[in-house]
Chain A
Amino acid sequence: MKEENLLKTLWQGLRRNQVALGSLVFILAMAVGSALVSLLSPYSSGGFDEAHILETPSLSHWMGTDGLGRDLLTRILYGARVSLTVGVGTTGLALLMGTIYGLISGYARPQVDNLLMRIVDIFYSLPDLLVFILLSLVLGRNVMGLLISLGLVTWVRLARLTRGEVLQAKESIYVEGARAIGASGTRILLRHILPNIMGPIIVTLTFMVPVVILAESTLSFIGLGINDPYSPWGTSWGTLAQDGWRAMRTYPHVIFFPGLAIFLTILSLNFLGNAVRDILDPRGKLR
C-alpha cells in the first residue's frame, strides 16, 4: 500500500463516519479558534479587571470570568494552543524517535536488537507520569520542556510496535524480492518496509495525542506541569481547571468550562482514533 493510497483510504473511511467527522470538525474549530483568538476576542488573556470578577456566563462573557475578571472563553482558547501544541508536537517527536529506534532494532542483528529492547523494557516498567515529572524537572517546566519530556516518555510504545512490525515484514516476499535485486538495507527499510507498516503506526499515533493532552493537563492541574505565567502561549487547561477547583464551592462555572474543553477534546480525539483504527486495522490487532 502506497502512502497516497493510505491517506485516500483513511479519508474515504472517515467521510462515511459521522461521529468521526464531527470530532474532526470540533478539533479543527478548536485549532483555528486558538490560532485566531487575538483577532476573534475583544479580551486579552492577561490583565486584571476588578469590575468583572467571577461573573457567571452572560452575553458579553459567554463562559463567565475568572478570579481576576478575565474572560474565560478567551483564556480557554489560548489554552488550546498549549494543549494542541503539546499533543501534536510530542506525538511528532515520539514518531521520529520511536520509528527510527524500532526500525533499527527490528532490522539489526539479534544481539543489538536484544540490547535495544532491554532499554525499552526498563522504560516500560516505570509509571509514565513519574518519569515524566522527573524529566520535566531537568528540562524546564515550560511548553518546550514539557513537550520534550513527554516525547522522551512516549516514544517507547512506538519503538516496540515498529520493531514488531519490522520483524514480521522482514519475512515477507516483497522484502525478499527487494533483496534479490540487490537493494541495500537502508533502502529496503525506508522504501519497502516503512510504507507497508505505516497503518499500525498511524493508529497508535492517533491514540497517543489524547493521552499526551490528558497527561499535560493532569500535571498542570496538580501543579507539576507548565509553570510559565508570562509565556505568550497562554495558560494550560489544567491550570485553568486548578484555578476553578479552588473556587468550585461558590463559582462552579470556573472549573466547568475548562473541564468541558479538556473532556470534549479528548473525547473527539478518541472517537477519531476509534474510526482510524476501524479503517486501517479492520481485524483489530491493535489495542
Chain B
Amino acid sequence: MGDRIPIAVTVNGVKKEAEVEPRLLLVHFIRDDLGLTGTHVGCDTSNCSACAVLMDGRVIKACTVLAVQADGREILTVEGLSKGGRLHPVQEAFLVKHGLQCGFCTPGMIMSAYALLRENRHPTEDEIRKGISGNICRCTGYAQIIESVQQAARSKQW
C-alpha cells in the first residue's frame, strides 16, 4: 500500500492537511477523512458524477482523481455553496422546482449546474442539457432538473 503522503488541500475555503495513502481517491478523502458526506459515491465506475466537485474552479469527478493529486489545489463541495445559513441560488432552485426525487444525484447535479452557470449565466436549454450531460439521474427524466437550472439562471441572488 505504500507510505502515506502529506497533502494540503483547501476545501470550501479551509486548508486541510492530512497524510493519505497514494491510492486514496479524492472522494473518499472528502467523505471519510473530512466527513463531508454531501459528495456522494453513486457508481464507483466513473459513470454517474454524483461525486462531482470543483477543483480549481473546474467541475470534476472526485472518484476519478487521487487525493494526492489534489495537493495544493482548491476543492469546492456542495457543503461550500451555502453562505450564512442561506442556500445558494442553485440549491434554492432545485428546492423550488423540485429538481429531484430520490436525491442521490442531486449534489453532483448541483455542482455541475453551478459550474455551468459560472461560465454561462444565461444558457439555452440545449447548453444546459450538454452542461449536465455527465450527470446521471435515474428518477426524474431530467425535465425538472432542467427547469431548476433555468430557475437558478434567473435568480438575482448570486
Pair from one complex: no
